Every structure is written in structure tokens, then in C-alpha cells.
Amino acid sequence: MVEVLHLAAVLPATVGLCCAVGDRPGRARSVVPAAAMLAAMLAMAVGFTAVPPLVWAVLLVALGILAAAGLRRGSDAATPVHARRMQLHRALGLVLGAALLLAGGHSVGAPSGHPEHGGGVLLTATLAGAVGYLAFTAWLVARSLRRRAPIVGVVESSAMGLMTALMALAPLTG
């Protein structure tokens, strides 16, 4: 079932990549993380073990940190607020995606790691993070629609939220 959820997450990851390609002002800063997320989803869906989930997770966290650093650098008045919110959404999505990739193969009844190391607590925290991210996604999409922001951002945010929801279900079914 976990592989089916990862396979289902490939579709929103693909949509997210298409939206990133269509994002003219920040193409490189959007395309590279979206392509990495799609590659990670494909690898998990087909069981490609040449690159272990931990390596994908490290790559996604590094890209999330770079996205957050770009957010800090781009905080001048010339950068629209919506663009900064989208960059924050991408950065959080990458870090959360990394955590969910690592949690994806474990069931709730069998926490990752040793029980004395708090694997169940980490899984619970990751799932709570997913719920928070989905709330942020819903707020961002609603606000973008009210403000008539570019539709590509609305679609990208929605796709990332859907991908997160599917990935969050994986540890619950594993």
C-alpha cells in the first residue's frame, strides 16, 4: 500500500514540476527542488534502491535550506509578498517531504528506530507537521484565490499539499 501511495504522489509531484517550469521569475529556484521531489517520489514508488531514502531526504533538506536562505535574501520590498509565501511553502514542503520519506515505510504500530529513542514521537511530530503544512496550504490557496494571484502558484501549492497528504498516509498504512 505504501508504494501505491508513493505512486499516487507522483502525479502531484509532476504537476508541481510543470508549475515550477512555468514560474518565469524564479525558474531555477523552483525547478531544481521540484525535480528532486519528483525523482524521490518515483524512486519510492518503483522501489529504486540504488539511492536510499536517507540520501533523498538529505538532498531534500539541503534544497529546503537553500530555499529558506533564498527567502531571507529575497526579503526586500521589491519581492512580492505572495512570492515570498510561495518560497516559504516550497522550503517547508521540501523539509517535510524529507521527513515523510523517512517515515513512509514504517507503520504507526512499529515506530522507526528503537523505542527508547522516541521513534513513535518522531513519527507523531512528522504527522503533526504534515497537518500544519496542509493548513498552511489551504490558507495560501484561499488567500491566493481571493487576491487573484497567478494561477500557477495556486496549482503548485495545491499539488504540493496533495502530495504531502498522500505521503502522510503512507506511515499510517505501512
Residue-wise burial string across 25-35, b where 16 or more C-beta atoms lie within 10 A, e elsewhere: ebeebbbebbb
pLDDT surpasses 70 at 136:
yes
CB distance 26 to 83 below 8 Å: yes
What is the pTM for the complete model shown?
A: 0.85
Q: How far apart are CA 46 and CA 58, in angstroms?
A: 20
Residues 120-140 have a mean pLDDT of 93
Q: Where are the domains of the chain?
A: 2-173
**Per-residue pLDDT tens over the stretch 92-126:** 999 999 999 898 754 333 444 444 445 688 889 99
Helices 27-46, 81-103: inter-axial angle, 10-degree rounding: 20
In the chain, pLDDT over 70 holds for what percent of residues? 83
Residues 10-14 have a mean pLDDT of 92
Mean pLDDT of the chain: 83
